[in-house]
Amino acid sequence: MIRTYKCRVRLSKTGHERLGEIFSLSAELYNAGLESRIDCYKKTGKGRSLYDQYKELVQVRAELPEFEAISSIVFRGVLSRLDKAYKRFFKHGGFPRWKSRRRWRSIEINDQCWRMLKREGNKLVLKVKGLPRIEVKPSRELPPNALLKAIRITRKPLRTEVALSYDLPTPEAKPVSNPVGIDMGISKRLMLSNGETVEKRTIDRKKLIRLQRSVSRKVKGGNNRRKAASMLAKEWQRVSDKERDYLHRLTSEIVKMYDFIAVEKLKTKNMLRNENLAKSISEQTWGKFITLLNEKAESAGVKMVAVNPKETSQECSSCGATVKKDLSVRTHKCECGYEADRDLNAAINILHRGITIAGGNVTRMVGRMREKQADVGPARPRTVLGYVN
């Protein structure tokens, strides 16, 4: 399995300037490669392969000294990025667009990465021909004997980061003894099948609104507008970093507590078409949560399954009967006598479906839940890990 470690870096002022020059050359090469593909198709009716453009790169580096001074591996990553854009176009649509020099912010290295990351005493240094000296500062210990598969250098509004992708062995699956189902919502961010909850995320937008208004008042193309846009981008990155850190802590806690996880397979893009709920849905970042949870579960040997969420709120988790109710009704009441929070009922149904997909015995699981409810009463929601903005 591939795991990526994001690290901060230390760069000199001249190093930042040099990195900016390489970004500009990368954008120039990307646009030239895109133009070459378009011209080839217009003249011959056929496309141009990645291998053909690699051969063109050899000629470009022989004629232009600014490209010759930089490792060809850097520019191969640029052409590979263009090739991926074309493949996405043929599969999903959306023709590749021209890239502005100001908007190009990353370098991808996918070949011979293990030769470029070197240890100098207590420091970890990234050395690539033509690039400035980059001192890597990992926030956690890197895998000692794993193969480094890819390096990505990214300039963000607040800092420059390096992402190191390693090929790690897949751990053995843990035996299932403590399963959980997770229902994702808006009033509560997460509801677990044992009654525990995670509070919804709310973004304090006062500063973001003020900075956005400042950008709107500036004249387009001016330096003041560019400065205001930079301040807005930095504030958005602070919000994003805080959310990413919280999701890492939340998913790590869930994976440590449970050895089988069932989640909903939601189509978020379709749900965002609802104008009234789109903002609330996007704030909860369900997609990022599922992605991180899946990565953490795979790394820990915890089995995770995605189930169809259809009518999980309408179906009674105790007897299986269908109880129709509107979204405004937040309590599930069934004729069998079972009464619970609507989201809790849905989370239990998600767990049942996950166990079924995994090949477990749902009947025994339901029996144990009924016995527990008879002894201690219905589960009451409580907060697992609150969100602090």
**pLDDT value of residue 383:** 44
Q: Quick check: 172 and 181 in contact, CB under 8 A?
A: no
How large is the average pLDDT for residues 115-119?
87
Half-sphere exposure in the Cβ direction for 143 (13 Å, CA): 19
- Predicted confidence (pLDDT) at residue 53 exceeds the cutoff of 90: yes
Q: How far apart are CA 165 and CA 2, in angstroms?
A: 6
Residues in the chain: 389
pLDDT at 368 over 60: no
Asked if 141 and 225 touch (Cβ cutoff 8 Å), the reply is: no
Q: Output the pLDDT for position 389.
A: 46
Q: What average pLDDT does range 166-181 have in this prediction?
A: 86
Predicted confidence (pLDDT) per residue in 277-301, tens digit: 888 888 888 889 999 999 999 988 8
Can you tell me the mean pLDDT for 106-134?
88
pLDDT at 385 over 70: no
Is 207 a residue whose pLDDT tops 90? yes
How far is it, in rounded angstroms, from Cα 286 to Cα 184? Answer: 7
- 10 Å CB burial of residue 343 (0-12, 13-18, 19+) is buried
Residue 133 has pLDDT above 70, yes or no: yes
Measure the CA–CA gap between 174 and 14, rounded to whole angstroms.
50
**What is the percent of the chain where pLDDT is above 70?**
92
- Determine the pLDDT at residue 164: 92
Choose between 372 and 241: higher pLDDT: 241
Reply yes or no on whether the pLDDT at 386 is more than 80. no
Strand, coil or helix: 381: coil
Residue 194 is given by DSSP the state T
The stretch 96-109 carries a mean pLDDT of 90
**Residue 379, token pair as written in the block:** 């589960």
Per-residue pLDDT reduced to its tens digit, 236-255: 999 999 999 999 999 999 99
Name which of 124, 155, 118 is nearest 139 in CA terms. Answer: 124
Q: What is the pLDDT of residues 259-274, one digit of tens each?
A: 899 999 888 888 888 8
- Asked if residue 371 has pLDDT above 80, the reply is no
